[in-house]
Amino acid sequence: MRLKKTLALASTVCLIPLGYAVITYGQQNSSPAVYNPYPPGILPADLNSEIARVLREIDVIEGRAIQRWHSLPPPTRLPQRPGPNPPVLQGTGTESIETLGELMLFDKNMSPGKNQACTSCHMPYAAWSGPIPSVNLTIIAYPGTVHYRAGKRTPQRHTYAPFFPVLQYNQEQGLFFGGNFWDSRATGYRLRNPDAEQAQGPPVDTQEMGFPDTACVAFRLTQAVYRPLFELMWGKDSLDINFPQDTEKICATPGGAAVFGGDPEPIKLTTEKRTKANTVYDDWGLSIDAYEQSVQVSNFTSKFDASLKGNYTMTADEMAGFQLFNGKGNCNSCHVDGRGTTLNPGQVDTSTTATANPPVFTCFGSANEGLPLNPRNAFYYQTTPDSFGFIGNPYGFGYRDLGMGTFLRSGFGSGPNPNRNWTQFAPMVDGQFQVATVRNVAMTPPQCSTTEAGTGQPYFQKGFFHNGYIKSLKQLVHFYNTRDTSFAYPVTSGHCPPGTIERVTCWPMKEVPNNLDTTTGMLGLTDTEENQIVAFLQTLSDGFTSPYPNSDTFTGSCMTCNPATDPNCSPSRQGNGELIPTPPLPPCASAICDVPPAPSPPIP
């Protein structure tokens, strides 16, 4: 489908809920109206059909996981442990807990409407990121169990996320490292495992899976077909919790509903039962982490990995891109691969990459790359109550995404900061977001051979960076290369001066100008060199040495375009047909930008 045609239809399409029959707390058989506060042209026209497609694909993968579970020989549980050894399940213990995590990750029942799994936003064929091209092109964040509440950021890739350490502040360097989520709010402070704590976020996120109480996960697990596997791994009585009679009604009502009055624990459990439910919630996170750490997800099977072992020879452009990545492009300063970075003419990088411990291509830190505010983000428009009385963003375009800075202040749209000693550093990290691994940044479904438009090949549209403003790898590299050159203009997105082209010769002003990463911005790369770095990034997609698990489940349509008739059919101008003008911006809301310690200088 042509991209412009898709947007044009959005203004007339009739948006209806997809199998969403939520029971409002205390009220049987009610079906809320669809929440649609969006102006015409914001939501993609194919949103309903695409959500339905992804749910069918989720069912396929969940079915495969169930079959794998049933085919596993049961692990051996020794009746008596010899000596001081821990209680290890011998034989298939590893496969069992990884399979349990997979079953949880693809379980649609883990949402009030039983219509949203973790993988609704993270599918294997998209490198465990957003699976709907039209969403990646437009509204960025994915609708949750309530259609059409949506979050504010792009879904991060699950691959290699378990490699991030517990969030810590390095006093010598004055930098934070570790954590999960774009703002690092899954710190790992309690489980000592950021990835497991990340898995505990979406089930109770009001804009995502949306349970009103963490105990709803334990309740739904008692009904899960894979309950015997959970009890095998975590104890035969682990789910023996006597839930109140109204638990189903509560868990079928989305979080944030006015009927709860802000109560974070509307399921009334005794202290003992609440403790048990909390333990189940921890086991939920740890099981999902086991799967995401497994070779089913993070498996080092790219062309780059093959080249380390001499099983693949990079093309001339790929090798040139690799050298630029480690040199003139300065990518290796943050997306480290264990080698030195060549910055000065005449330097020769003679370091080598370890093959026994392949690089993850991240420094595990955070940075502010100076992205413009993206007016297509659905979050800005959620300023009115939905049918449950919930308002997603009362500040509208007064919202500014300060990333880690908001988290350290325990601010709106983030999570509580568990370390009071970190709060003082909030002004130092305003605008910073996690330095994601570049592994699998270019992964697409097999039938969509690239992320780049206008190459003559069908492509899979992605959204890059935390707010999805960048629409191709070419644009991504070009942004790093030219952000602070004469292409920078004091305008907002959609208002580039006549004679310029947004994302090509015009970069709108930065949403958060504080703490800017100045290792990029003026790299002096030629157009050819930019393309060579893109060629190298494409060598980092897993699935080269062996098929990537479940990458065959994509049943959607790749995008195509004709450069002869569409001026935006190129990697440089990709997505420009969907640009909309940013409205006049109010000042940053005081509830965000005046929370102490206040940003310095103030955020406009």
Q: Which pTM does this prediction carry?
A: 0.93
Burial degree of 71 (CB within 10 A; 0-12, 13-18, 19+): exposed
End-to-end CA distance of the chain: 39
Burial degree of 537 (CB within 10 A; 0-12, 13-18, 19+): buried
Give the pLDDT score at 194: 98
The Cα–Cα gap between 210 and 115 comes to: 11
Residue 205 has pLDDT above 50, yes or no: yes
Give the pLDDT score at 21: 39
Residue 339 has pLDDT above 90, yes or no: no
The CA-CA-CA angle for residues 456, 460, 462, to 5°, reads 125
Binning pLDDT at 50, 70 and 90, where does residue 348 land?
Answer: low
In three state form, how does the secondary structure of 536-603 look? HHHHHCCCCCCCCCCHHHCCCCCECCCCCCCCCCCCCCCCHHHCCCCCCCCCCCHHHHCCCCCCCCCC
Tokens of 140: 């960025």
Binning pLDDT at 50, 70 and 90, where does residue 366 land?
Answer: very high
Which is higher by pLDDT, 77 or 510? 510
The Cα–Cα gap between 57 and 487 comes to: 42
To the nearest whole number, what is the mean pLDDT of the chain? 92
The Cα–Cα gap between 440 and 539 comes to: 9
| 361 phi-psi bin (left φ>0, alpha ψ -120 to 50, beta other) | left
Cα dist from 257 to 18, 25, 252, 389, 411, whole Å: 20, 9, 11, 6, 20
Binning pLDDT at 50, 70 and 90, where does residue 543 land?
Answer: very high
The CA-CA-CA angle for residues 446, 148, 434, to 5°, reads 60
The Cα–Cα gap between 571 and 589 comes to: 35
CA 159 to chain centroid: 10
Residue 4 has pLDDT above 90, yes or no: no
| 213 phi-psi bin (left φ>0, alpha ψ -120 to 50, beta other) | beta
Residue 241 has pLDDT above 50, yes or no: yes
CB contact at 8 A, 506 and 576: no
Amino acid at position 344, single letter:
N
Residue 345 has pLDDT above 90, yes or no: no
CB contact at 8 A, 301 and 544: yes
Residue 392 has pLDDT above 60, yes or no: yes
Angle at which helices 527-537 and 316-325 cross, to 10°: 100
Each residue's pLDDT tens digit, 478-518: 999 999 999 999 999 999 999 999 999 999 999 999 999 99
The Cα–Cα gap between 421 and 481 comes to: 36
CB contact at 8 A, 380 and 397: yes
CB contact at 8 A, 135 and 142: yes
CB contact at 8 A, 325 and 332: yes
Which is higher by pLDDT, 365 or 346? 365
Half-sphere exposure of 359 (CA within 13 A, CB side): 21
Cα dist from 351 to 237, 245, 294, 435, whole Å: 54, 64, 29, 23
CB contact at 8 A, 40 and 14: no
Per-residue pLDDT, averaged over 271-276, amounts to 98
Q: Which of 345, 347, 321 is nearest to 337 (CA)?
A: 321
Residue 17 has pLDDT above 50, yes or no: no
Each residue's pLDDT tens digit, 547-564: 999 999 999 999 999 999
Q: Which of 532, 185, 542 is nearest to 331 (CA)?
A: 532
Lowest-pLDDT choice from 18-27, 49-58, 65-74, 552-561:
18-27
Burial degree of 91 (CB within 10 A; 0-12, 13-18, 19+): middle
Lowest-pLDDT choice from 1-5, 37-41, 103-107, 382-386:
1-5
404-431 CB burial, b ≥16 within 10 A, e <16: bbbbbbbbebbbebeeeebeebbbbbbb
The Cα–Cα gap between 120 and 155 comes to: 10
CB contact at 8 A, 199 and 284: yes
Give the pLDDT score at 341: 58
Tokens of 14: 């009739």
Each residue's pLDDT tens digit, 127-176: 999 999 999 999 999 999 999 999 999 999 999 999 999 999 999 999 99
φ/ψ (deg, to 5) at 366: -135, 155
306-344 CB burial, b ≥16 within 10 A, e <16: bbbeeebebeebbbbbbbbbbbbbbbbbbbbbebbbbee
Give the pLDDT score at 64: 98
The Cα–Cα gap between 140 and 130 comes to: 9
Residue 104 has pLDDT above 60, yes or no: yes
The Cα–Cα gap between 165 and 467 comes to: 24
Amino acid at position 355, single letter:
T
